[in-house]
Structure 1
Amino acid sequence: MAKTANIYTRVDPEIKNQAEQILEQLGIPMSNAIGIFLRQVILHNGLPFEMTLPVSKPVAIGNLTKEQLDAELQKGFDDIENGRVFSLDEVDAEMKSRYGI
């Protein structure tokens, strides 16, 4: 039985270069890193990390330019004019659900 098997894959060249630079600093060849990843897949019986979408954060007023703040306020005025309004309890529940606050 062969001691190794080949894996062929296509990867974005920039991703490959960035990963190689990091792995080189760690002293790990790319083939070893891939082997480590595959062993972790086996140990975890799945991907060895959680796959989630990034949590969106509410708009921080202090980080907005005047133009951005004006645009956000205009969105609010447009919502009011078009009847898209929510009670304080609805907003509070949504904030807790989305952002944990």
Structure 2
Amino acid sequence: MALSTLTARVDEKDKLSFDAFCSSVGLTSSAAINIYVKAVLRERRIPFEIRQEDPFFSAENQAYVLKSVNELRAGKGSAHELIETDDD
């Protein structure tokens, strides 16, 4: 089986951290990347979920919303008319 070189550019700090992790689990960086490639080919997909979190649903924001709702239910709030602006 002929081998081929795969080149990728990554942040220097990420590469150092990746190399250190691989070493800590007994792999070379090359072996870890080969495992990834084999998984992609075997599963015919990226072998993990890629997503962008919606910041609205972060734990911190949800805690803030819940706190605000509880304050309103406890009578610590006031109703007012909707204030519209001409901001585009």
Q: Same-fold call, TM > 0.5?
A: yes
Unaligned runs of 5+ in 1: 70-76, 84-101
Q: CA RMSD in A?
A: 2.8
**Equivalent residue number for residue 4 of structure 1:** 3
User: Where in structure 2 are the equivalents of 1:4-83 lying within 5 Å?
Assistant: 4-55=3-54, 56-57=57-58, 58-61=61-64, 80-82=81-83
The residue matched to 1:81 in structure 2 has which SS? coil
SS of 1:60 mapped into structure 2: helix
Q: Percent identity?
A: 21
Report 1 or 2 for greater relative contact order, CA contacts < 8 Å, sequence distance ≥ 6: 1
| Counterparts of 2:2 and 2:26, CA distance in 1 | 23
| Structure 2 unaligned spans of 5+ | 69-77
Give the aligned length. Answer: 69
- Structure 1 runs (4+) deviating above 6 angstroms are none
